[in-house]
Amino acid sequence: MNKDIFLHQIEQNVKNVLCVDFDGVLHNDHLGFYDGSIYGEPIQGSLESIKNLSKRYKIVIFTCKANPDRPLVNDKTGIELIWEWLDKYGFKDFITDITFYKPQAKAYIDDKAIKFENWADTILLVDKI
């Protein structure tokens, strides 16, 4: 396959995907890991924002709760628990997928992210956390 064709295909696949973290972005995990359950409510404005973004992008949730090595909670995987939560709060129809692995995407929305500009500034930001 021609390199230019390959890069174009990747660009086309990625341009319509937004990757969104679950805890702290959609779900207010105010108790932290707690007992592994998904106990919190939606963060203010998250449903309306996801509805709006889903008109232009495929929304993929990226979360550690989807880790296949994560213990079951009430006989359910983290992915099953998240889908239940998404359904309960009206998000389900706007989400394309849930994954533990970082998918290719146009952008990543994460409450714990550090935006990389250069290494000097990045080290200063890391030192502040």
The pTM of the whole model exceeds 0.75: yes
* Domains detected in the chain: 3-128 (3.40.50)
Query: Which pLDDT tens digit goes with each residue over 51-63?
Result: 999 999 999 999 9
In terms of C-beta density within 10 A (0-12 exposed, 13-18 middle, 19 or more buried), how is residue 52 classed?
exposed
Query: Which pLDDT tens digit goes with each residue over 4-41?
Result: 665 556 565 667 999 999 999 999 988 777 777 888 99
The conformation of residue 76, written as its DSSP 8-state character, comes to: B
* Pair 24, 113: CB distance under 8 Å: no
* String of DSSP letters for 13-56: HHTTEEEEESBTTTB--TTTTTTSS----BPTTHHHHHHHHHTT
Query: Which pLDDT tens digit goes with each residue over 66-123?
Result: 999 999 999 999 999 999 999 999 999 999 999 999 889 999 999 988 888 999 999 9
* Pair 39, 26: CB distance under 8 Å: no
How many CA atoms lie within 13 Å of 66's alpha carbon, on the beta-carbon side?
17
* Pair 39, 31: CB distance under 8 Å: yes
User: Which phi and psi (to 5°) does residue 60 adopt?
Assistant: -115, 130
